[in-house]
Amino acid sequence: MASDMATSLKVERKPKLSETVVAAIRKQLQAGEIQPGQKLPTEGQLTETFGVSRTVIREALAKLAADGLVEPRQGAGVFVTEHISTMFGTLAADMGSKDSTALNVLEVRLAIEIESAGLAAIRRNAAQEAAIQEAFFEFERLLLNSEPTGPADLAFHRAIASATNNPFYVEMLDVLGRRAIPCDVTSPWSTELAQSDAYQRGLQGEHLVILNAIMTGDAESAREAMRAHLTASQQRYRERLHARQIFYADSVKAAATE
């Protein structure tokens, strides 16, 4: 009976229509059929091409934008991102929605952002310092209004990367896009817990420690604060995987006793 229960839990999820559209456009990008800087077909044209609704197309474009592969320009349309490197662009395009992938992303961010925080503390100018503060307070505003904080969260980390005055730090974060921010509702790894006020208030507290270290020019404290912030995120995902494992084991045990 336990084996029957295990089998029943393995349900294949049918891909959403938007995921099919995303996969098709990603293949075109990787094959070079659509070049960096090139404008994508209009929503109407994509609707006809894929035989789906405009809602599906908009959802697909939002996912591509979240990956940093395309960018909408007001009144002009949607364009393929120009600065994305081929290697890392492919990495972002291939990312799934597994917790294990989220852990891999956070590991990459640890390698990048610990040093970027230290460099930002040393190299920032007045305008860059202000941009970091503005992103911090925008996160606070969104949190108080119960709005998604993902864009402000990414802006905070991106402003720190920009303050290194090394454009490659910014490019790496741009490639990961909003998928780098698990608490955002558009992230494939977002959960009710990650979107809760208490969870995000904790994130903002960690952001404050990073901000204070950078503002005082303490490079080592900035590195340690960023390490603690991202390591805590890794731990939260490990706990999530462990909880799923326990749930599965309990389900099998309950089925065996029936």
Q: What is the pLDDT of residues 79-99, one digit of tens each?
A: 988 655 444 444 444 444 455
pLDDT for 81 equals 80
Lowest mean pLDDT among 30-34, 68-72, 165-169: 30-34
Residue identified by tokens 């960023």 is 226
Q: What is the DSSP letter of 38?
A: P
Q: Give 219's contacts (C-beta < 8 A, 6+ positions apart).
A: 117, 118, 119, 121, 122
Collect all residues with Cβ–Cβ distance below 8 Å to 253 and sequence separation of at least 6. Answer: 2
Distance between CA atoms of 80 and 164, rounded to whole angstroms?
26
Residue 254: per-residue pLDDT: 61
pLDDT at 255: 60
> Residue 186 — very low, low, confident or very high, per pLDDT cuts 50/70/90?
very low
SS3 of 71, please?
strand
Rounded (10°) CA dihedral 213, 218, 224, 226: 50
Residue with tokens 């507290």: 205
CA distance 96 to 186: 13
pLDDT at 205: 95
9/80 Cα distance (integer angstroms) = 39
Strand, coil or helix: 149: coil
Helix 219-256 × helix 2-9 angle, to 10°: 130
Max distance between CA atoms of the chain, in angstroms, equals 67
pLDDT digits (tens, 9 = 90+) for 12-62: 456 688 888 988 888 887 667 787 888 999 999 999 999 999 999 999 898
**How is 167-181 classified by DSSP, letter by letter?**
HHHHHHHHHHGGGG-
Confidence of residue 6 (pLDDT cuts 50, 70, 90): very low
The pLDDT, as a whole number, for residue 123 is 97
Mean pLDDT, to the nearest integer, of 208-218?
A: 98
pLDDT on residue 249: 60
At 86-143, the pLDDT tens digits run 444 444 444 444 556 677 788 889 999 999 999 999 999 999 999 999 999 999 999 8
Spatial separation of the C-alpha atoms in residues 146 and 196, rounded to whole Å: 9
Amino acid occupying residue 195: Q
